Amino acid sequence: MVLACAQAACGSTPVPEATVASTVVRPPEGSGRPVSIAFAGDASFEGLGPAIEADPTGVITEIAPVLRDADLTVVNLEASLGEVGEPVPKGFNFQVPAAVTETLADAGVDVVSMANNHGLDFGVEGLEESLRIEESSGFPVIGVGRDDAEAYAPFTTEINGQRIGVIAANDVIDAELRSTWVATPDRPGVASAEEPEQDRLAREVEELRSSVDTLVVFLHYGLEKEVCPNDRQRELVDLLVGAGADIVVGTHAHRLQGLGFLGTRFVAYGLGNFIFAAPSEAGRASGVLVVTATGRRIDGYEWKPARISDGVPVPLTGAAADEAAALMDERRECAGLSTEPVLADDRGDTPSPDATPPDTDQQERGAP
């Protein structure tokens, strides 16, 4: 169990002047001890509500050991929590019982993002219920809030002496929903990564940079069913890496996209489906990404492939796992990423680890 809070909810305690004066600047490696962070993709839990209600801890048992093995695990929750609210007029609306927080926590998940195109599927009432469930369960949800400050607030924790921060944001908002979905100072909603708000997101990253050793941005972006990242995804990744992100992980395409090193930083453009009623073979390709970091230094990564069966991921072994790994190698090539970090001297446009940091599912459901 990790100790964590969202900054907006932590409050502020005056720091004695002497403490501030004696603060030691931490090196790029932080405490010098590695931390493993696991990431998984889209989890809607569609059709699994009755199973969750009957036995919350018996739903995703096969993949759970992979999630529990990491020091920190982050998943994209594509659903509203609870049972209240009315479905917003759109193609698909996902809502899961409050007991799913027990499902996720028991399986080893530490925090979920609701910064996606389903975070307000049941309107503001559904979002407010989701936030009440977060508070009552103690299970962290990021990327949404009662206002923009809460929506952009990071999940922060300390593991092995390392300070970890995760910010979540959504770049996929239907044009007709922007006026009611994007969080503002006086409106609840999701943290937006779209062009009108992307500079705000970059500023949040810049502000968080000085207070954490490893900084993660968890994005919902891209085009459904595409296996290679588009220009917009690359643009956002470049923006956020430039702002100080060490790891950028994405979801939404419902297909696995490339993952690897962009200079010395780590990028996973798309993790595909995770707990999802995917109708196609391509949509059922799944897995868990585990990145090991020592502060800003990315030590390595491992893709642990799985295949969705009856809506839940099952780890692959043997020849099937080898085939899945080869597929991810192909996806890495079209993403323009590397298997090893590339230093600035070799690449020319990416800071080294020692550099000072700067201060629709509708298509998937109908796929063959």
pLDDT at 25: 79
One DSSP character per residue, 245-314 reads -SEEEEE-SSSB--EEEETTEEEES-B-EEE----STTTTEEEEEEEEEETTEEEEEEEEEEEEETTEEE
Q: Is residue 159 part of a domain?
A: yes
Q: What single-letter amino acid sits at 336?
A: G
pLDDT at 84: 97
Q: Is residue 1 part of a domain?
A: no
Residues 6+ apart with CB under 8 A from 111: 4, 72, 73, 74, 75, 140, 141, 142, 155, 166
Domain that holds residue 119: 27-365
Q: What single-letter amino acid sits at 338?
A: S
Q: Is residue 93 part of a domain?
A: yes
CA distance 333 to 244: 24
Q: Is residue 2 part of a domain?
A: no
* Percent of the chain scoring above 90 in pLDDT: 86
Residues 6+ apart with CB under 8 A from 44: 78, 79, 94, 96, 118, 275, 276, 277, 361
Residues 6+ apart with CB under 8 A from 49: 96, 97
CA distance 74 to 105: 11
Structural domain total, the chain: 1
pTM, full prediction? 0.89
Q: Is residue 20 part of a domain?
A: no
Q: In the chain, what's the furthest Cα-to-Cα distance?
A: 64
- CATH, residue 306: 3.60.21.10
Per-residue pLDDT of the chain (368 residues; tens, 9 = 90+): 354 444 444 433 333 333 333 346 799 999 999 999 999 999 999 999 999 999 999 999 999 999 999 999 999 999 999 999 999 999 999 999 999 999 999 999 999 999 999 999 999 999 999 999 999 999 999 999 999 999 999 999 999 999 999 999 999 999 999 999 999 999 999 999 999 999 999 999 999 999 999 999 999 999 999 999 999 999 999 999 999 999 999 999 999 999 999 999 999 999 999 999 999 999 999 999 999 999 999 999 999 999 999 999 999 999 999 999 999 999 999 999 999 999 865 544 444 444 433 333 334 433 33
pLDDT at 9: 41
Q: Is residue 9 part of a domain?
A: no
Q: Is residue 8 part of a domain?
A: no
pLDDT at 343: 87
Q: Is residue 14 part of a domain?
A: no
Kind plus residue range of the DSSP H or E element containing 75: strand 72-77
pLDDT at 19: 33
Q: Which long-range contacts (CB under 8 A, 24 or more apart) does 230-237 make?
A: 232/171, 233/269, 234/336, 236/171, 236/193, 236/198, 237/262, 237/267, 237/269
